[in-house]
Amino acid sequence: MTTLPTPRGKLTVGKELSGLTWLRVGGPADYLFQPADVDDLAAFLKDLPEDVSVFPMGVGSNLIVRDGGLRAVVIRMGRGFNHIEVEGNRVRAGVAALDAHVARKAAQAGVDLTFLRTIPGAIGGAVRMNAGCYGSYTADVFVEATAVTRAGEVVTLTAEDLNFQYRQTDLPEGWVLVEAVLEGPSGDPEALAQRMGDQLAKRDASQPTKDRSAGSTFRNPAGFSSTGKADDVHDLKAWKVIDDAGMRGARVGGAQMSEMHSNFMINTGDATAADLENLGEEVRKRVFQNSGIDLQWEIMRVGEPAAD
């Protein structure tokens, strides 16, 4: 077995990942590393053999880890990376800070990042995937981010470096985000709190928030427009083409497309990662047969299938 550096943080061999994802599926990682701080992470990556893969993992809200697990060092940020500091209209947040917590703390200081309130996950994932809703996106409020490269160098990334697109960025393989700076417009704290309350009520009325899901399963078909805005405001929605293909409520094993919102895939209790991925592929196939639209996964799928 490969010899790994000895960090100050916690390094676990053969860690089962199912308990770390919102869908509660997935096999073991070769290693799980929880760095103590940025210096610990940088030193570890610098000394990590080049042939060892690195997979940065957030809170697992938008992720299917396949049943065979991950042949990699999974890096998961914890307490040392969940700070939130407001400086004028700028908010500096560690990548483990939950989107909802950032939105709330910003609103209390009169900074409008309310669109983050209902996005499941943490700031690292929001930057990495250009998360957004209600017509606002991380790219709209992004100032800069700090990352550690695969070689262990600490670097500052601009929006140009990341090249924000619809639900994706150009973050290089093996680089680990550690902090982001966002800047929002000013707003009245009470009005911002009211808006977030309204958004939560709307979400809870239309999405299966009490079920095990990973948020939206597929990207909305229209993608990212030439104006730089994504298509939350576009007429064509993934749930509509899924409904039109007769796949609302469809099941494979313990996996189901939610009856409440057909672009939400849920683990009804005993789904495997294979059940979830197979159901998603069946939905893609039926939608393509019905409308000619090639749905693209929004949920990230990683790792290896279970051995036969």
Name 196's bridge partners: none
- Annotated active-site residue in 216, 262, 277, 286: 216
Q: Edge-to-edge strand order for the sheet containing 90-94? A: 84-87, 90-94, 176-183, 142-148, 154-157
Task: For residue 136, give the amino acid letter.
Answer: S
**54 contacts 176 by C-beta, under 8 angstroms:** yes
Among candidate residues 260, 263, 266, the one with its CA nearest the CA of residue 284: 263
Name the 3-class secondary structure at 84.
Answer: strand
**294 contacts 283 by C-beta, under 8 angstroms:** no
- Annotated active-site residue in 76, 167, 248, 286: 167
Name the 3-class secondary structure at 67.
Answer: coil
Verify whether residue 167 is a known catalytic residue.
Answer: yes
Q: How far apart are CA 132 and CA 253, in angstroms?
A: 31
Residue 145's H or E segment, with its range, is strand 142-148
Sort residue 270 into left (φ over 0), alpha (ψ -120 to 50) or beta. alpha
Alpha carbon of 159 to those of 122, 146, 181, 225, 286: distances in Å?
19, 12, 11, 17, 37
Verify whether residue 61 is a known catalytic residue.
Answer: no
**116 contacts 109 by C-beta, under 8 angstroms:** no
Let me know the angle formed at the C-alpha of 113 by 107 and 117, rounded to the nearest 5 degrees.
85
Q: How far apart are CA 32 and CA 47, in angstroms?
A: 16
Q: How far apart are CA 111 and CA 283, in angstroms?
A: 40
Verify whether residue 216 is a known catalytic residue.
Answer: yes
Catalytic residues: 167, 216, 298
